[in-house]
Amino acid sequence: MHAGLDATWTAMQARAVERGLRVEIVDEQTVGYDTVTRCRVSSHSQPGQWHHVRVKASAAGVDVACDCYAATLGRPRPCSHAAAALDALGMMPTPEPARHAETDTLDNGRTIAEEIKTLSALKLMAYAFGKDADEDEYQSQIDALKATL
């Protein structure tokens, strides 16, 4: 499975942490620009058992294979063992801290919440005066600010 580290990988990483999965690096081999690392990851559903994860990092990206039941079904989503292995190898992204509308400020020094309130008032005024184009512009600015949260 190619590891295009999206939200699914992050969710599986969180699940691995929640379940207390342990990772042990078995070996690592580098040939040219490719590095293959074999790990074993503790099983949550079968205490005392381990799953084997192979991580290949190359110029083309990262490929991960796990021998757990979920991974052998050919599902397009990753298993928590694969995410745990990538995390142990330092290949998982660090999540961005959440933004807070009431405390985070914009370049103009105002909070996101204050800016949304102002834009909402301007949108309402544009609506009252029949200026549809302005109303749409204010709404798109509001939507863009909300998307940052």
Pair (66, 21) in one structural domain = yes
Pair (83, 106) in one structural domain = no
Pair (13, 70) in one structural domain = yes
Pair (45, 118) in one structural domain = no
Dump pLDDT digits (tens) for 10-30.
888 989 999 999 999 999 999
The average pLDDT across 28-38 equals 93
Pair (80, 102) in one structural domain = no
Judged against a pLDDT cut of 50, whether residue 109 lies above it is answered with: yes
Return d(Cα 138, Cα 42) in angstroms, integer: 52
Pair (66, 102) in one structural domain = no
Conformation bin of residue 102: beta by default, left when phi > 0, alpha when psi is -120 to 50 = alpha
* pLDDT for the residue 5: 62
Dump pLDDT digits (tens) for 73-101.
877 778 999 999 999 999 887 666 666 77
Whether residue 1 is contained in a domain is answered as: no
Q: How many domains does the chain have?
A: 2
Pair (41, 76) in one structural domain = yes
